[in-house]
Amino acid sequence: MPLYFFPRDRDFWLYHFSAVAVGLMASITIAVVWGFMVRLQVYTSLAWIPFYTLAVLVLRWLYKRRGGDSVPIARLIAIVVLYSAVAGMAIGACVTAVVAPMFLKAISAKYKALKIPVIPSELILSKFMDEAPKSQLFVAVWGFIYISVSSSRRIKNAELFNLRLQNNLKEAQLSSLSNQLNPHFLFNSLNNIRFMIHEDAQRADAMITSFSEILRYSLESSRREKVSLRHEVDIITKYLAIVKTQLEERLDFALRIAPGLDDVLMPPMVLQMLVENAVKHGLDQLQGGGKLTVDARQQGQCLQLDVCNDIPNAQAAVPGCTGIGLLNIEQRLHLLYGGAATWNAAHAGAVFRVGITLPLERAA
């Protein structure tokens, strides 16, 4: 971004000249109250404004040009104090030079009326000593305010940038996790459809339709943080319809959804992954098949989801055999809800249960 000596920001000029106007009014008010050469004071203040503005613009330009944001605060304070001292004397000298003719004329007339000797050099020095410290103070105050505002904006912009990065990272993580449809299911589904085409074309057509809807849902879920429970249940029903082609009577499925929960929101693909995990690590390992149960109910202001499935007795003694799906779900719940959502997995004999508790949210 190019650096301009004269800022392009309208707010900068608005704030700057508003402050200058307040200072000008205060100076004129004091002169009126004291009754001391009001016209000269107005003339001096008007002459002071452009020199003061030029001085602070130089300070701003140096701050931007030299990377003042990266300078330690103690050194920055010293630089501002030193610059304001030099700028204050320069402004005082310029203003004194501009107003000297009018100043000397007014003072000389007043001193002659009072029969006081007039020494021009002393009057000019007195005027300079009046303008220089005041200018130094105003430049220093302006510099500290400008640095403070610039630092505050920089910190705020950095925080916003970090928030955007975190949000983009969160979206990327959610998208990646949502798209982890198990290749095992994909390959098995395609093989089952291939065999079914020769045995029952109508059933194969229904399987292809269900399979395509599952794939579409998986892809679309990367663009949505939450879906309704009704949509998730519909997908696992289609998923199990395909799985049943392979397991046939070995799959005993029960779905229990409490009334009034159809529009409750939850992360997409969560139930699907739990059911897929149950089939792959449980029922698929049982020669005689087993039972799979999905329960959804409301508990206070929470949605309680439970998925239970039979597992081989040998696997019941190995708590770690739960698959990557549960790790995926845990990461997504943490990204979406923080500590507001909980999950647990446990064995009870030859039954494996996963329970998930989510804050109760409904679709608008």
- Residue (of 312, 303, 284) closest to 355 by Cα position: 303
Q: How far is CA 145 from CA 80, 127, 196, in A?
A: 11, 27, 77
- The Cα 296–Cα 259 span in angstroms is 9
- The Cα 146–Cα 56 span in angstroms is 10
- The Cα 264–Cα 361 span in angstroms is 6
- Residue (of 290, 276, 289) closest to 189 by Cα position: 276
**Domains within the chain, CATH numbers bracketed:** 10-176 (no CATH), 184-359 (3.30.565.10)
221's CB contacts (< 8 A; 6+ apart) are 178, 179, 227, 268, 269
Bridge-based pairing state of the strands 290-299 and 251-257: parallel
Whole-number pLDDT of residue 339: 85
Task: Provide the whole-model pTM.
Answer: 0.53
Whole-number pLDDT of residue 33: 67
Q: What angle do CA 325, 327, 332 make, to 5 degrees?
A: 95
335's CB contacts (< 8 A; 6+ apart) are 170, 173, 174, 177
The encoded tokens of residue 11 equal 């707010």
- The Cα 297–Cα 291 span in angstroms is 20
Whole-number pLDDT of residue 115: 64
Per-residue pLDDT of the chain (364 residues; tens, 9 = 90+): 577 788 877 878 888 888 888 877 877 777 666 655 667 777 778 888 899 889 999 998 888 888 877 788 888 889 889 999 999 999 988 988 887 776 666 666 666 665 666 566 766 777 788 888 888 988 998 888 888 888 888 888 878 877 776 766 666 555 555 555 556 667 777 887 887 888 888 888 888 888 888 888 877 776 778 899 999 999 899 888 888 887 888 889 999 999 999 999 998 888 888 898 888 888 888 888 899 999 999 999 999 999 999 988 755 544 444 556 677 788 888 888 888 999 999 888 889 999 999 999 998 7
Please write down the long-range contacts of 328-335, taking CB distance under 8 Å and 24 or more positions apart. 328/177, 328/180, 328/273, 329/267, 329/270, 329/273, 329/274, 329/356, 331/173, 331/177, 332/174, 332/177, 332/178, 332/267, 332/270, 333/267, 333/358, 335/170, 335/173, 335/174, 335/177
